[in-house]
């Protein structure tokens, strides 16, 4: 079981990389870099040296009502419903290099997806000009399939018996298919850095897994809208039980808090700071396919305590497998004893 867990890609890739976007009133465009629950379970586990692939399909359905305003693509809107389907394709390289005793790894993530956004009221922004002749206050809808911003990450992971831990740095680069003035964008169009640390306790004898991960997200300015999203803190925790070597079930809790306000000349709806707590569960299964161990995991979380954000349901479908795993390091040959004659 221990060997199997180290082959799971999701803990390293998604734990160190906030790969997606959750609708949020407090962050520009209704999109935050961090997704609740993404870093766990197995958040501190780094696979053995090798090449890995992970495909994570992300689902979100949420709304913000009560005539509260939000800002999407420079448009000021109210009573917004969002349904997002996106996929994050990840290539992970765990190198044979060790730094400070930890395994060095690099990852590249390419997101693409289609946020379907309906605003009950359009108050201001570029869509007002595009709808010239139409009334301000009318409802608008937008759903566009486009690529997100590419993401790169570097991490270091350590292992000692049943304990595993890692640190990671992630950079989102504004190079996706961002469409200024539109409601539907999977790309965020700003530089984003995320620094995180995670630890996992995994006992193969009992099948108990406990993980925790925390990080800070630092946001740059969107040059298209002159909007600066505030910096953010996030923490995830999980507890899982392996019923067999292949099947596990668990619970997840997550908290997000924006620690600085939104600023910039493009922040038209005020310096909102959002926060949210989400809870849910997970089910994981590993099975061989053509001789390759393939891991599939489902996670579902419900946002329960929300301030200045959408409130909704989060879903993940993760599929990961190794493309190539380096052979184990050979044990050093024993040195001959030298004695004085």
160-217 pLDDT, tens digit each: 999 999 999 999 999 999 998 888 889 999 999 999 999 999 999 999 999 999 999 9
DSSP 8-class letter at 10: H
pLDDT of residue 193: 98
Per-residue pLDDT band for 332 (boundaries 50, 70, 90) equals low
- Domain 2-58+86-111+146-322: assigned CATH number: 2.40.160.40
Run of H or E residues at 130: helix 126-130
The structure tokens 């004659």 sit at: 341
**Contact (Cβ atoms closer than 8 angstroms) between residue 69 and residue 269:** yes
Q: In the structure encoding, which two tokens stand for residue 278, read together?
A: 């989400």
pLDDT band at 337 (very low <50, low <70, confident <90, very high): low
pLDDT recorded at residue 6: 43
Specify the pLDDT at position 124.
Answer: 76
Put simply, whether the predicted model's pTM sits higher than 0.75 gets the answer yes
Highest mean pLDDT pick, 120-124, 248-252, 288-292, 306-310: 248-252
Give residue 51's pLDDT: 98
Q: Kindly indicate the confidence band of residue 67, based on its pLDDT and cuts at 50, 70 and 90.
A: low
Two tokens, residue 86: 């996106």
Whole-number pLDDT of residue 267: 82
Q: What is the pLDDT at residue 269? A: 74
Question: Residue 233: pLDDT band by 50, 70, 90 thresholds?
Answer: very high
d(CA 273, CA 237): 23
Mean pLDDT for the stretch of residues 109-124:
88
Which phi and psi angles does 74 have, rounded to 5°?
A: 85, 0
Task: Return mean pLDDT, the chain.
Answer: 86
18 pLDDT more than 70: no
Evaluate if residue 11 carries a pLDDT over 50.
no
Residues 6 or more apart whose Cβ sits within 8 Å of residue 65: 79
What is the structure's pLDDT at 79?
A: 81
- Whether 155 has a pLDDT exceeding 60, the answer reads yes
Structure token digits, residue 146: 């486009």
**pLDDT of 340 higher than 80:** no
* The pLDDT value given to residue 334: 62
In angstroms, the CA 41 to CA 15 distance is 9
- Cβ proximity of 16 and 45 under 8 Å: no
Joined together, the tokens standing for residue 66 give 């009560």
* pLDDT number for residue 131: 57
**Per-residue pLDDT reduced to its tens digit, 81-104:** 999 999 999 999 999 999 999 999
37-41, 141-145, 192-196, 271-275: least confident range: 271-275
With tokens 């999701």, the residue in question is 10
């Amino acid at each position: 079981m221990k060997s199997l867990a180290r082959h799971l890609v999701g803990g390293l890739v998604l734990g160190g990389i906030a790969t997606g976007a959750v609708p949020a009133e407090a962050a520009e465009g209704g999109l935050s870099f961090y997704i609740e629950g993404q870093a766990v379970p197995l958040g501190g586990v780094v696979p053995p040296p090798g090449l890995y692939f992970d495909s994570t399909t992300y689902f979100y359905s949420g709304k913000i009502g009560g005539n509260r305003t939000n800002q999407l693509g420079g448009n000021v809107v109210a009573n917004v419903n969002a349904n997002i389907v996106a996929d994050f394709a990840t290539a992970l390289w765990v190198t044979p290099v060790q730094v400070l005793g930890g395994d060095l790894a690099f990852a590249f993530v390419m997101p693409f997806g289609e946020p379907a956004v309906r605003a009950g009221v359009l108050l201001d922004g570029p869509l007002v000009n595009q709808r010239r002749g139409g009334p301000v206050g009318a409802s608008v809808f937008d759903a566009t399939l486009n690529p997100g911003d590419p993401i790169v990450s570097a991490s270091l992971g350590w292992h000692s018996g049943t304990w595993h831990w890692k640190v990671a740095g992630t950079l989102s680069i504004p190079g996706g298919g961002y469409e200024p003035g539109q409601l539907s964008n999977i790309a965020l169009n700003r530089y984003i850095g995320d620094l995180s640390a995670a630890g996992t306790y995994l006992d193969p004898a009992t099948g108990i897994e406990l993980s925790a991960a925390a990080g800070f997200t630092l946001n740059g300015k969107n040059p298209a809208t002159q909007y600066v999203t505030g910096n953010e803190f996030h923490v995830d925790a999980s507890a899982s039980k392996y019923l067999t070597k292949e099947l596990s079930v668990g619970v997840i809790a997550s908290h997000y808090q924006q620690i600085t306000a939104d600023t910039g000349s493009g922040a038209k709806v005020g310096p909102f700071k959002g926060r949210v707590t989400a809870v849910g569960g997970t089910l994981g299964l590993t099975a061989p396919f053509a001789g390759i161990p393939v891991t599939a995991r489902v996670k579902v979380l419900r946002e329960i305590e929300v301030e200045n954000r959408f409130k909704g349901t989060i879903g993940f479908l993760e599929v990961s497998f190794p493309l190539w795993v380096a052979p184990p390091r050979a044990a050093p040959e024993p040195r001959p004893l030298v004695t004085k004659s």
